[in-house]
Structure 1
Amino acid sequence: MKVLNKETTLEKSLIALFFLMGFIEVVSDDSYIQYTIKPLQIMLLFALYSYTSIRKNPLFFINMIFLLIGRMLFVPKEKHMLFYALIAVFFHRIIEIYYVIKLTKIKDYIPPLLASIPFLIYFLYLVSIPDSVLIRSYLILIVQIVLISVLSGIILSQYLLTFNRKDIWLFVYGIMSLMQTFVIFIEKFYLSDFKITSLRPMALFLNTIVCFSFYKFVITTERLNDD
């Protein structure tokens, strides 16, 4: 187990390439580059997880595939594409919540549900203001808000009640996910008609951290559970 906990040269190289792809994605404003970089990043994450994980849980790969589909559909600026992107992210969130619950082995669901209420109220308030969202996109968006609130409640309750090594990465993942969701909401629903370019690079940067911190949470939890 000590050998497994040490980062090998290959693992460090894959991590470096992953963040390099993330940096290129942030600084590039070309949609063609975006369509190329996003799959490369996920493939690097697949390679990293396949190399470092003993279990190689299919849920990790399925979860990231739906995330990739959602990210690809978020690239176009047409508002009708938002609906399809939200559908993909919906399946991503469902799998993600199930995966986190399975890894953290939650037995009492009351604390996560209570902890999710403030997040639910906050995000519902955010989306109650814009009037430029299509009805079908708005409905799936409400479902997304419920899911991200539930996930946030799980993460917060785990951090406060049963803090350990794996929960450090889970907490980082949760904070970055919330920041990313907030940035995307502001960009898509409040600033879509303004030529502001500073928020998209921020969302892309946060996504890179989200993906990596989720990977680290999964790997750390698997190793701790095998001890």
Structure 2
Amino acid sequence: MNKVKVLTVVLFIIAFIEVIAEYFRIIPLIYVFKPLISIVLMLLYWLSSTKKETLFFLTITTSLITNVLFIPNDLKFIFVGLIIFVFHRLINIYYILKVMKTKDFIPVVLASVPFLIVFFYIFFDTDLLTKEVYYIMIIHNSLISLLGGIALSHYIMNDSSRSSWLLICVLSFVTLHFIIFIEKFYIELQIFRPIAMSLNAFAYYAFYRFILIIERSNSN
């Protein structure tokens, strides 16, 4: 437990340094600390979990790869990163559905509608998307809306600690997705990157807590 506590503090220190690095665009620090967040999170899960689910490591690893590909702000790397991120999101959704044992998908679909309306309204309101990115963004908007629907429906139908952590995680992802889209296609502000990085780090920490709660409750 002491190792877990120390590593948790280390994780937030690393995240704080990364946020500062993003604000001032200190690229060498970003290349070190951005992937380090994912590495420390996986180590934290390894020490905390008795199950050590492969899907957790696969989720965080694909996130790590996309985070690194997004650093150079080069369209080629971003395009590859977006493709890998689709697989990341699919793994993420499958993992959540699996551990939450979701059987009734009607509430999920209904809860996804508000997210779909917001994201696709913003999406169709811009004409700056290239042909290659256009279709990938449709997939991304659909997947993040589905993820939002899963979290919201479970929270409404069963308000528990696991549902709360899942909702916190997913709302952080949704806000992150919204900020990145606004920054890339509407207005670029210096403050957007550190906010996005803060949300990213907190979202995955919340995801880690969500998975741990489920694993421990299943063990009990």
Q: TM-score, normalised by structure 1?
A: 0.92
Tell which deviates more after alignment, 126-135 or 62-71: 126-135
| 1:102 paired residue among 95, 98, 101 | 98
**Cα drift, residue 78 of structure 1:** 2.7
1:204 maps to which residue? 197
- 8 Å contact kept, 1:82–1:137: no
Matched with 2:179 is 183
Shift in Å, 1:171:
1.2
Deviation at 1:130, TM superposition (A): 2.1
Paired residues of 2:35 and 2:67 also in contact (CA < 8 A): no
Report the secondary structure of 1:125's partner residue: helix
Q: Spell out, residue by residue over 1:70-96, the C-alpha distance to the aligned partner (whole angstroms, 9 max, x if none).
A: 111111223343221211110110000
Aligned residues between the structures: 217
Distance in 1 (alpha carbons) for counterparts of 2:191 and 2:107: 37
Structure 1 position 27 matched with structure 2 position 27:
no
Give the share of equivalent positions with the same residue, in percent: 38
Question: What is the match of residue 152 of structure 2?
Answer: 156
Cα deviations across residues 17-75 of structure 1 (Å, max 9, x unaligned)?
A: 11111101110121221111122111111111001101100000011111111111111
Partner of residue 216, structure 1: 209
Unaligned runs of 5+ in 2: none
**Structure 1 unaligned spans of 5+:** 1-7
Match of 1:138 in 2: 134
Q: Give the letter aligned to residue 208 of structure 2.
A: Y
Q: Corresponding residue for 1:39?
A: 35
Q: d(CA) in 2 for partners of 1:222 and 1:31?
A: 37
Q: Secondary structure of 1:47's partner? A: helix
Partner of 2:82: 86
Verify the 8 A CA contact 1:116 1:152 in the aligned structure 2.
yes
Divergent runs of 4+, >4 A = none
TM-score (norm 2): 0.95
